[in-house]
Amino acid sequence: MERDVSAGQRRIFSRAKNQFIGGRGFTEAEVNGARKLAIVNQTFVRKYLTNENPIGRQVRIAQLAEFEDAVKEPTFEIIGLVADAKTGDCKIRPSRRFGYRTR
């Protein structure tokens, strides 16, 4: 039986002042599996996907291949969308966020 860990993720995103507005979080099987999945925020969508529905889209983050602990073939399927949230100074605009799971 596959347990959905989305409720826990929603609490984590809630504490970080991020609210899910589309899609879903990762399931336990996905966390332990090999699928490359992502949850993005609204600013990421506006900047890179021209405000299109991101759910199901594939994105390639080439910089991840350059990390010391490199991600081979850094292409991810977007499964969730969270609202932008202010972090730190209220005068600073939200930055693009990209959360991912890979094995």
How many other CB atoms are there within 10 angstroms of residue 81's CB atom? 21
Range of the domain at 61: 6-101
E-strand spans in 42-87?
58-60, 75-82
What Å distances lie between residue 29 and 7, 72, 101, CA to CA? 15, 21, 11
Q: Quote the number of domains for the chain.
A: 1
pLDDT at res. 85: 78
β-bridge mates for residue 91, sequence order:
none
Residue 60 lies in a domain: yes
d(CA 81, CA 24): 7
Domain presence at residue 1: no
pLDDT tens-digit readout, 53-84: 999 999 998 888 888 888 888 899 999 999 88
In this prediction the pTM is 0.69
Residue 45 lies in a domain: yes
